[in-house]
Structure 1
Amino acid sequence: MDGVTLLAVYAAPAMENKGFSEMLGQFLTNPFVIPILLSIAALGILLSMFTPGPVPAFVGLFSLLLYFYGHMIEGAMGYGSVILLVIGLGLLFVEIFIPGGVIGFFGIAAIVTSILLTGEDMGFTAISLLIALIVAIGGTVISLKFFGKRLHLFKRVILTDATDTESGYVSTVNRPELVGQMAETVTALRPSGTIKLLDERIDAVSEGRFIGSGKRVKIIKVEGSRIVVRELEQEEEE
């Protein structure tokens, strides 16, 4: 019996004794598979911020969980890694409902630390994370450039709509039709106070001098929210 046949005879029972989970764990922790899993995870999570729908996030999280599952089977995942992973995923979940970026940053930091602690070789794991980051950024740039994906998650954080008059926004309500109207002061104007026009109370300022309450005034100028009034002379009231 030659050496190859002898090796096959002894190797066959060993393969039969290995369970599926053990073989899966060895596959998922293969040095060639780890960068691929982390790249898919990073790309999926990053694309989920740019594209609608849960598919990219689901694929990214599934790849991330496969990474941790493989190391858990191999016995390389300690309690510290598990705690950091749970905290990181929890913070990312909170970020969905309370956007702002800070919570999500700490969540990602916790997950990255958990990945580094889980890897058998921290140096190799750090290189794999760097490769994953490059792949994720490159894939996102390609997606934005060629598929026209629009950033939708950060719209909850950053106001992207222009608040100009062409879009129907005005900083103050301009009421030029009030010019020439007669009103009565509700409070004294020193020089600002309140006047009453019909049944409407309006903030106003005097032309410059003090005007007591209960006086008849005339609106002489409207500049945005600034309404200027002048006290009526006795002959004007008549």
Structure 2
Amino acid sequence: MNRLRRRLSAAPIAWLAAIILVTFAGCFGAPSEQAKAASDTGPAVYVIPVKQTVESGLQSFLERAYKEAEEAKAEHVILVINTLGGKVVNAESIGHFIRESKIPTTAFVEGKAVSAGTYIALNADNIVMQPGSTIGAAAVVDGSGRLLEDPKTISFWTSEMSESAGLQGRDKNIAAAMVDINVSLDLKDKIGRDKQKGEILSLTASEAEKVGYSEHTAASVDEVVKWLGLEDRTQIEVTPSLAEQTARWLVNPVVMTVLLILGIAGVIIEMLIPGFGVPGIVGILSFGLYFFGHYVAGFAGMESVVLFVIGIALLIIEIFVPSFGILGILGSAALVAGVVTAASDPMTAFISIVIALVAAIILISIYVRMNRTKGIWNKFILRDKLTTEQGYLSADVKDSLLGLEGTTITPLRPAGTVQIGDNRVDVVTSGEFVDANRKVKVVKAEGTWVVVKEIV
């Protein structure tokens, strides 16, 4: 029972660690002092960078930045865009809340607004481009960068791009040409070239202004502010907090998988090898970092942490309390549910946990093999050898009887009893029967096995 208590104590520690990290997340993600100051000094222009891959971390940061701007009653938001794109699902969410925001937004394309970056820009009220910048090339690609040929996906993304362009009074056909290679457009009169089938359209700053995809060309944010007529407003630049930068790294699928591997392997090894040591600490910290990253990114709630802790606890109990696998199944289901509900993409999370389980099993096997004499199973295994050399005798050894003679007390059929000297000895023959009161001789004695033969 004490051993069980020691094992179960790891679960509350994991929960406590996760709660502490979540508390830190709340502190790191709190509104900045600049935002609070802006609310005291009057309307301000919020400058928000979009200079990273479009993914869940960026979405969480932009949602937080827009919330701060709304709380500060900002007059305008300028998105400084320089990105090569990212995930469609995150771009779609970002575009929708920009479009629905009460604060007017201007997208300033500082370098490249490619793919998902183009979609974000199209949802702004204005687009201003820096000389030498480009916008477009918004075709849907897979993880290796190859164009997707799925008609449903292409149709959906073309529709989203076209709708966003149309809502701001821009040509829907140009937005479609940025996505679909099968779209052709006659643009020679406007930009001096046509968009041919098999190509993906992208526009330079001057071209975008000519076709109505940019309202102005500016070299800097200050010039954009001046063009908007807001040069007398306070500029508040919102940057990702330390927690958001850390979370962005932690929610990366590769990092997420590594954390799950270390977490699962660490906790299970700690259960198998007595003592709260390095594996247990590594496991708890890995799980804590996993949920910390997803909490800051806005995906994980305390229900995910609770599900995960319950899963670990049930798996620990299963080791000590046989339940015909019921607790193990419930624990595994809760563990998987905790990981999946904490992630932005359930399928990615499920794949990560499957990979993590396989890798963790390999690590656990190696660790257990290297520490085979320290496992809890050794508590139930007798490893002392009860050999004669160690002074142990399993029974009376009859080797000394070899060659001695005696008289049968009972018939040997083929087993019976023989009087040898002062001792009565249980013996057997090689298969023949011997009557009582006959002379016999011990021909073999191996341990407690005594074989006799009648003396003729």
Tell me what 1:116 maps to.
336
Tell me what 1:149 maps to.
370
Distance 1:160 1:213 in 2: 46
Distance 1:74 1:57 in 2: 26
Give the fraction of aligned pairs with identical amino acids, expressed as a percent: 26
CA displacement 1:25-61 (0-9 Å, x = unmatched): x96xx63464343222223245458867542552365
Which ranges in structure 2 are unaligned for 5 or more consecutive residues? 1-43, 49-64, 73-242
- Which one-letter code corresponds to 1:188 in the other structure? P
Distance 1:151 1:227 in 2: 41
Relative distance call for 1:43 and 1:199 in structure 2 (3 A) is farther
Q: After alignment, is 150-159 or 108-117 more displaced?
A: 150-159
Distance 1:143 1:79 in 2: 28
Matched, 1:35 2:78: no
Relative distance call for 1:50 and 1:74 in structure 2 (3 A) is closer
Matched, 1:55 2:277: yes
Matched, 1:87 2:314: yes
CA displacement 1:114-150 (0-9 Å, x = unmatched): 2222222542222221342355366568869xxx934
Match for 1:3 among 29, 40, 46? 46
TM-score by length of 1: 0.55
CA displacement 1:194-227 (0-9 Å, x = unmatched): 3354565543212543234565532133356542
Deviation at 1:160, TM superposition (A): 9.4
CA contact (8 A) 2:415 2:426 kept: yes
Matched, 1:217 2:437: no
SS in 2 for 1:4: strand
Aligned residue runs from structure 1 range 60-209, under 5 A: 62-63=284-285, 66=288, 74-77=301-304, 84-92=311-319, 94=320, 109-118=329-338, 119-120=340-341, 121-133=345-357, 135-136=359-360, 149-152=370-373, 153=375, 156=378, 175-185=398-408, 187-197=410-420, 202-209=425-432
Which ranges in structure 1 are unaligned for 5 or more consecutive residues? 15-22, 234-238
- Which one-letter code corresponds to 1:204 in the other structure? V
SS in 2 for 1:218: strand
CA contact (8 A) 1:90 1:107 kept: yes
SS in 2 for 1:111: helix
- Could you say what the CA RMSD is over the residues aligned between the two structures, in angstroms? 5.5
CA contact (8 A) 1:38 1:63 kept: no
Deviation at 1:90, TM superposition (A): 0.3
Relative contact order: is structure 1 or structure 2 higher (C-alpha 8 Å, sep ≥ 6)?
1
**Greater percentage in helix:** 1
